[in-house]
Amino acid sequence: MSVAHKDADPQKRRRIARQLITKATIAQIAAKLERHRSSISREIKHNRFEDDELPSLNGYHGVMSHQKGAERRSCRRELIRLPHQLDAVLEGFEGRCRATSI
């Protein structure tokens, strides 16, 4: 089974950052990384670093991008972090799924 969406790994994120420094277009970066333009654009949009106090640091940084992605993925683990929510979800499944309906 293939994965529908796979986050960029740290090396690809560093390559994106280097290409942005050289003023490469999204299409050029996508071609070099063999990814779709929208994937590169989404990666840059979601992981762009912005700081009002230090605007000179604003932009896309590979290492920061990887950390932001890891933080987002950890927030999605609510069912592991909140056992009462897991219990509620499992109760909902038990009410709807029966061995005869599968």
Within a 13 Å sphere around the CA of 93, how many CA atoms are in the beta-carbon half?
8
DSSP 3-state of 21: helix
Instruction: Please check whether residue 4 lies inside any domain of the structure.
Output: no
Domain of 68, in residue numbers: 10-101
Instruction: Please check whether residue 42 lies inside any domain of the structure.
Output: yes
Distances (CA, A) of 6 to 2, 21, 29, 43, 57: 10, 24, 17, 11, 27
Instruction: Please check whether residue 5 lies inside any domain of the structure.
Output: no
The tally of domains found in the chain comes to 1
**Could you say which DSSP state residue 52 is in?**
S
Instruction: Please check whether residue 38 lies inside any domain of the structure.
Output: yes
Instruction: Please check whether residue 55 lies inside any domain of the structure.
Output: yes
pLDDT for the residue numbered 25: 95
Alpha-carbon dihedral 12, 75, 88, 99, rounded to 10 degrees: 10
The tens-digit pLDDT sequence of the chain (102 residues) is: 344 456 677 788 889 999 999 999 999 999 999 999 999 998 888 888 787 888 887 888 777 777 777 776 666 666 676 777 777 777 776 666 555 544
Instruction: Please check whether residue 1 lies inside any domain of the structure.
Output: no
Beta bridge partners of 48: 60
